[in-house]
Structure 1
Amino acid sequence: MDELIAFLRERLDEDERAAQAGHPTRRSAGRELREVEAKRRILDELESFVADAEYLPQDERNADTATAFGIVRLLAMPYDDHDDFREEWKP
């Protein structure tokens, strides 16, 4: 999961740079930057929880853990066509 979070952070950095550079998008650069910030905050909230839970045996994980893992995978879904995206990261 650490690698998926790192992958997501790299993609968000790329999205941020593209918005700041004014690359044409169907949304305004301001909205794009707010979306990047929102996704970063979601990752920040989930990262420590996911990191701790990742090393628990499967039978000791609870529904919150599964939900957190699922949310991180959903955040990665728009990047599934990236060369570094792994099949096991799909939700």
Structure 2
Amino acid sequence: MKASKIAYKPVGLAMGAVSGVIAGAVFKQAWNMLGHEEDAPDATDEERTWSEVLLAATLQGAIFAAVKAAVDRAGATATRGVTGTWPG
């Protein structure tokens, strides 16, 4: 395994945690902007409809994937700028 990959592992783990926090905040804002209650429904929330639960899950998944990709890409680009090699 390349040294750059080994060195990138802790950075990647930290950035994964950061991306989760960012994605959660973005999702909460988006859910509020859609005019729903402050908290998104859980799959087992009896008071919520199927469509509301599935919409929340789809939106949350899409936001998480986009934020994770953006953070991972930014981290890889920064790593290349510092080390001269792509970490992937």
Place the TM-score, normalised by the shorter chain, in its bin.
0.3 to 0.5
Higher RCO (CA-CA < 8 Å; seq separation 6+): 2
Please report the TM-score for the alignment, with normalisation by the length of structure 2: 0.38
